[in-house]
Structure 1
Amino acid sequence: MVDKDIAVPVVLFLCVTVGIVYIVSLLVNTRQRIKMLQVCGSKELVESVIQADTYRYQMSALRWGVLALMEAIAFGIIQAMGWTEINPGVVALLLGAFGLGSLLVFLLGRRFG
């Protein structure tokens, strides 16, 4: 078992670090967009970049939503079957759910994209 006196500060440090990296990436992306708007005179180009970013964010949300749903179903099956140990069947079920979720995202992306 992990000592709480060690785990809590480590997890807190990791969370703060990830937050800082996320904020910096947001600032860099915002700065990049501002420069693009200042330099680029073409309204169509700016709109196409914004539409592409919106589509990418939507597909990312779809991907993580479907993958989380498929993994939740797999964990539900594992719980319902009463499996308490990690064995090849459990790993196969989890990997299969991830693969099936990825295929589902691909098909949904092609249909709605």
Structure 2
Amino acid sequence: MPEILVPITLFVSIVFALKIVVEARFRSKLLQTGGADELLRSMARDEDQRRRHGALRWGIVMVLLAVAFAIIQAAGWRDLNAGTLAVLIGAVGLGNLAYYVISRKLD
């Protein structure tokens, strides 16, 4: 399994590093042009809100996944079959729907 995970992890790391570099260059160029103070404040505010919303989404999804795993454990299901997958996928779907409802109320 490590022979599969190492290249995938390397690829994801490279993509993430490139994303960070591109965003940093964009902000640097934006600062150099001047007169973009309000735009930078707006971008920082939006980024902060996206970060909070991302944490909210993952928190809701993880809690519902934990509930799904507890249901699977309580039911005594030991094999991976359609029923266990349905419970797990349903939990992720419910988590995303709950996030949508909560984020609409926050905005």
**Pairwise same-fold verdict (TM > 0.5):** yes
Q: TM-score, normalised by structure 2?
A: 0.86
C-alpha offsets along residues 23-51 of structure 1, whole Å, 9 cap, x if unaligned? 11111111111111222413222211111
User: Which of residues 32, 42, 50 is equivalent to 1:56?
Assistant: 50
Please, which runs of 5 or more residues in structure 2 have no aligned partner? none
Q: Per the alignment, in what secondary structure is the counterpart of residue 78 of structure 2?
A: coil
**Given the superposition, is the C-alpha separation of residues 8 and 90 from structure 1 closer, same or farther in structure 2, using an over 3 Å criterion?**
closer
Q: Per the alignment, in what secondary structure is the counterpart of residue 86 of structure 1?
A: coil
Q: Is the 2:30–2:36 contact (alpha carbons within 8 Å) kept by the matching residues of 1?
A: no
Q: TM-score, normalised by structure 1?
A: 0.82
Counterpart CA distance in 2 for 1:87 and 1:8 is: 26
Q: Aligned residue for 2:67?
A: 73
AA of the residue aligned to 1:100:
L
Aligned ranges 1:14-53 → 2 under 5 Å? 14-53=8-47
User: Which of residues 87, 98, 101 is equivalent to 2:95?
Assistant: 101
* C-alpha displacement of 1:18: 1.4
Counterpart CA distance in 1 for 2:25 and 2:101 is: 35
Residue 85 (structure 2) pairs with residue 91 (structure 1): yes
Counterpart CA distance in 1 for 2:100 and 2:29 is: 34
Please, which runs of 5 or more residues in structure 1 have no aligned partner? 1-6
Q: How many residues end up aligned between the 2 structures?
A: 107
Two-structure CA RMSD over aligned residues (Å): 1.7
* C-alpha displacement of 1:12: 1.8
Give % identity.
36
